[in-house]
Structure 1
Amino acid sequence: MEVTAGMSTIWLQIGQCGNQIGQEWWKFVANEKAPNSAVDRYPFHTPDGKLSALSVDSEPKVVRRLLRELKTGSFRDSNILVGQRGRGNNWAFGYHGLRTEDENSLLHRTMDSFRKEVERRDSYSGVVLLHSLSGGTGSGLGAHLCESIREEFPMSYILSVSVVPHQTGECPLQHFNSLLCLSWLQRYADGVLLFHNDDVLRRIQASCGRKNEHVPALQPQISLSDMNTHIASCLAALMYPVSSLRTPSGVSIGLEPWELLRSVCPVPTTKFLYTSQMNKRGAASWDSMLSSIVRTLPRHSSTGNTHQSTAVLAVARGTGADTFNCSRQPIMMKVKQGYGCVSWNPQPLDYWTDPWNIVDQTSPSRSLTICANHSSVSDYMQLVLEKARTMYDAHAYLHWYWKHGCEEGDFLQAFETLDSVVEEYSAARDQ
């Protein structure tokens, strides 16, 4: 059967974090045990069998490891773009690059390869960015690429998968980097899937803790790879083909990322998304899995306001997916109540199902993944604003940003942009 690239998405992984998540993500996509793997591969590959992806980093180490882990030749050689000097965990250095660079800069080389990748498909729909908010390359170059792609392809979608740093201990510049990157994403992206390192760590620890309840003293050791795998599993649940979005012939044309945006971003000014996932082996009920997810939701803001959601998407995969369809009305009502869906949105809920659980190959198993446009993001935005303003008022580290081409206006606009995000989420709540 001949299938064209169709609505193929381009996957752009940027910096150390983006490439490490990409490494785990492609392992899910390359799963040949999936029942429909022969046709499900097309949203992720060009007709010649290469991945529809670019791997970009200012240093070669992580990219080399990625290429060793993946099947030889998966990436097109021209889509592997590396530099020889890191960006010092500095947004300005990542955004502006080296002063001596011109047409040979990492940005220009990446955009040139990106254009050629777009030309390889008959219908380019959009790009998914994988990156962090704190690293110089992920935050700075990621922001610049997001801006450049929006300007060159204004009608296409941009979905960012952004990793939020631990609240403390990663990098003294992380609050500035996050402030600037988030403001660029608000301006140029259509949606942002936020994955908080602290939240991911807690979820994995809780999962390991349940497995080791009979040995309370056993403390699980969580690796960076474990955290990246968790994030990749959430992406797989949300973006790997589902039966309800296939063509009548059973082929996936890669609508999932863009249907996700349609479902959970009803208002263009509120685009930051919160994802939770529960995976169970055996015959766990969908209702009990949903209850476990709802219990972990942030309930109230620091000012005492009840958090709400403007829209929610639930994705049920695995054994008994048909039972989710049969009982969807009470389940979705519980989703609506648990996530506090606003009353002004007439259709705040959507759901997808698929009989294959891409998250876990064990049979029987099932996963429930919920993506919500949830107002708890405003708590994080306020934290970034507070930390960044304190540093800015003290003139801490600013010389590192002026040195690499940043200007005072960049910070002032970033503060204003994030303030507006907080206001938009507050206004989106039911009055």
Structure 2
Amino acid sequence: MSAVWLHVGQCGNQIGEEWWQILTSEKVPHAEADRHPFCSPDGQLSAICVDSEPKVVRKLQKRVRRGSFRETNLIVGKRGRGNNWAYGYHGLHSASEKNLLERTMESLRKEVERRDCYCGTVLFHSLGGGTGAGLSSRLCEVIRDEYSLGQILSVTVAPHQAGESPLQHYNALLCLSWLQRHVDGVLLFQNDAVLRRTAALLAKKAPVSDMQPQVSLSAMNTYVASCLAGLLYPLKAFTTGSGISMGMEPGELLRSVCPVPTMKFLHIAQACERGTVFWDSLASSVVHSLPRASHAGQPHYSTSVLAVAHSYQEDTFLLSRDSVLRKLKQAYRCVPWNPFPLSCWTDSLNIVEPGCHSHSLTVCANHSSSAELLQQVVARAEAMYKTNAYLHWYWRYGCEEEDFQQAFETLCSVADDYSRLGE
């Protein structure tokens, strides 16, 4: 069983580049079974890279020449989508570009047919751009319709709250509502939180000085890819007797952290350490960045929590397991109605920081802090919508008033469900 990995838009492809860099690194002693969830029988990665502009995807040509990427799976258009969800969702009406969606679905069909047993799609994209938000919304809708038995896991990046584009709130509103309707789980990364976490990691590694370390976009993408590797890299516990790894993409992960179908937005945190490991200390590092309460002072809760520990000293985690899980359960405030809110997986290979003395702890939680992002998106989009700001750009490319009304209702309903978790 394995998934197809779909990268859409500039952000989705840049994170994908870092993701595949980790997974194909020569520093990691990959077993053939570990490659199974990511590769077709011919050894090429089951990855499809899509963008309406060629500049980012063209960088992957080196991987095509090395034989890891299939050239027909690099799908590009000739012009962007203007940071406009409607433009990305409905596409261009010119004969030269209208088939971007069709070409993507054709490549996806071929990849599905190459797999021994297709289990779903992992979609990498952002909420802010026209391609990342609009085209990915259309793709997850079409994939759900054509491959209804496969699960869809979305790796979604939210833009900075300070603003990257005047249309980002509309794009995020519409894309999040489509994700809520069509995907099974959303690994949600917020650029502001990723920036803070990456800056903290760089400061920890850098020599002591008065200067704050400069955080590059590449470093932020690496952090996101590292979190994904901690969650999605195959574990020995999921390897069959024949030596084939089942992976966790996306079934086992979703079964662990999405017990309620209407709540599917997931918070991820990770901590790494070299040398002698103190798992209680790693757990403290993970929960340090966790939002504990809303701006209104309402405590956050979790429906479920998954902890994945990677260490060459796997037995040391098992000795500390109870105290680590107790700390996580307390910090994440697991709801009382879930009888088994905590899951724990371990493995002796740490792909996050390859080396004989490295350890990582990655925690994925269905956490009510996601409601704050949804509420912020709704509030800012609604303020613009009431003044008719920029709406003509959405009407121009096929968007309708019903799309906005349904999006507002969907996100308000989800945010309300999360806010009532502690009741």
TM (norm. structure 2) is 0.97
SS in 2 for 1:68: helix
Contact 1:193 1:274 in 2 (8 A): yes
Structure 2 CA distance for aligned equivalents of residues 354 and 11 of structure 1: 23
More displaced, 61-70 or 78-87?
A: 61-70
1:388 paired with 2:392, answer: no
Pick the aligned partner of 2:4 from 4, 10, 15. Answer: 10
Distance 1:318 1:129 in 2: 28
Contact 2:122 2:249 in 1 (8 A): no
- Superposed CA RMSD in Å reads 1.5
Aligned to 1:231: 224
Is residue 233–residue 248 contact of structure 2 (8 Å, CA) maintained in 1? no
Say whether the 8 Å CA contact 2:10–2:132 is kept in structure 1.
yes
User: In 1, Cα distance between the equivalents of 2:305 and 2:235?
Assistant: 17
Residue 155 of structure 2 aligns with an amino acid whose one-letter code is V
Hey, what's the Cα distance between the residues in 2 that align with 1:319 and 1:325? Answer: 12
Post-superposition offset of 1:37: 2.8
Of residues 64, 72, 78 in structure 1, which corresponds to 2:58?
64
Cα distance in 1 for partners of 2:407, 2:145 equals 19
Counterpart of 2:287 in 1: which secondary structure?
helix
Alpha-carbon distance in structure 1 between the residues aligned to 2:163 and 2:64: 31
Alpha-carbon distance between aligned partners in 1 of 2:69 and 2:270, rounded to the nearest angstrom: 29
- Structure 1 counterpart of 2:333: 340
Selected match of 2:273 from 249, 271, 280: 280
Corresponding residue for residue 331 of structure 1: 324
* Separation (CA, whole Å) in 1 of partners of 2:112 and 2:137: 20
Offset, 1:70: 6.6
Q: Give % identity.
A: 59
Distance (whole Å) between structure 1 residues aligned to residue 314 and residue 64 of structure 2: 31
Q: What corresponds to 2:286 in structure 1?
A: 293
Matched, 1:140 2:134: yes
Report if the CA contact (8 A) 1:31-1:37 is conserved. Answer: no
**For the Cα contact (< 8 Å) 1:14–1:137, is it kept in 2?**
yes
Q: How far 1:329 sits from its partner (Å)?
A: 1.6
* Equivalent residue in structure 2 for 1:203, among 186, 193, 197: 197
Superposed CA offset, 1:98-126 (max 9, x none): 12349952011111111121111221100
What is the match of residue 87 of structure 1?
A: 81
Deviation at 1:36, TM superposition (A): 4.0
* Counterparts of 1:212 and 1:424, CA distance in 2: 42
Match of 1:353 in 2: 346
Which AA in structure 2 matches 1:225? S
CA distance in 1 between counterparts of 2:63 and 2:40 reads 20
Cα distance between partner residues in 1 of 2:304 and 2:65: 38
Gaps of 5+ in 2: none
Matched, 1:117 2:111: yes
**Secondary structure at the residue paired with 1:194?**
strand
Alignment of 1:19-418 (within 5 A): 19-68=13-62, 72-101=66-95, 104-212=98-206, 214-215=208-209, 217-418=210-411
User: How far does residue 255 in structure 1 lie from its aligned partner after superposition?
Assistant: 3.3
Runs of 4+ with >6 A deviation: none
Quote how far apart the aligned CAs of 1:249 are: 4.1
Alpha carbons of 1:75 and 1:383: their partners in 2 closer, same or farther (altered >3 Å)? same
Report the AA paired with residue 286 of structure 2: I
- Residue matched to 2:419: 426
The secondary structure found in structure 1 opposite 2:344 is strand
Q: State which drifts further: 275-284 or 128-137.
A: 275-284
Structure 1 gaps, min length 5: 1-6
Q: Which amino acid aligns with 1:288?
A: S
Q: In structure 2, the residue corresponding to 1:182 is in which secondary structure?
A: helix
Instruction: Supply the AA of the counterpart residue of 2:84.
Output: N
SS at match of 1:74: coil
TM-superposition CA deviations, 1:188-227 (whole Å, max 9, x none): 0000000111111101111122234622x12211111111
Q: How many pairs does the alignment contain? A: 423
Structure 1 residue matching 2:226: 3-state secondary structure: helix
